[in-house]
Copies of this chain bind each other. A is one copy, B any other.
């Protein structure tokens, strides 16, 4: 186990893959300002409705967004919990991959460096 985290490897694949596309990152930004239907989103891009629908689906499979039914439309909003866990995950990777001991150790080191300057 490289990183002790609640994520499954499969889920991590989906997460980073979802974030690796500009349009999808942009959608994340748009829905963060309020729920939007898939049509609302599609109108803001120069690609087909189906293309945006697929991007939303990729984000949904990564649990980065959720859809809510409202009449004939599905309202898309983002999922702060997954974002929080993703940020934590990458911070964990950073710590492990760079042999950083832990947050407290780092703060103490930086404290030390400041004093020595």
Contacts and interface: CB of A to CB of B under 8 A. Distances in A.
Contact of A28 (B84, B91, B93): B93
A105 interface: no
Nearest to A100: B80
- For the side of the interface on A, what is the size category? 20 to 34
A57 interface: no
B97 A78 contact: yes
A96 interface: yes
Interface string A40-53: 00000000000000
Interface stretch (A11-19, A67-75, A109-117): A11-19
A108 interface: no
22 contacts: A2-B25, A9-B22, A12-B20, A13-B20, A13-B21, A13-B22, A16-B19, A16-B20, A17-B17, A20-B20, A25-B93, A28-B93, A29-B96, A32-B96, A78-B97, A80-B97, A83-B98, A84-B98, A86-B90, A86-B94, A87-B87, A91-B91
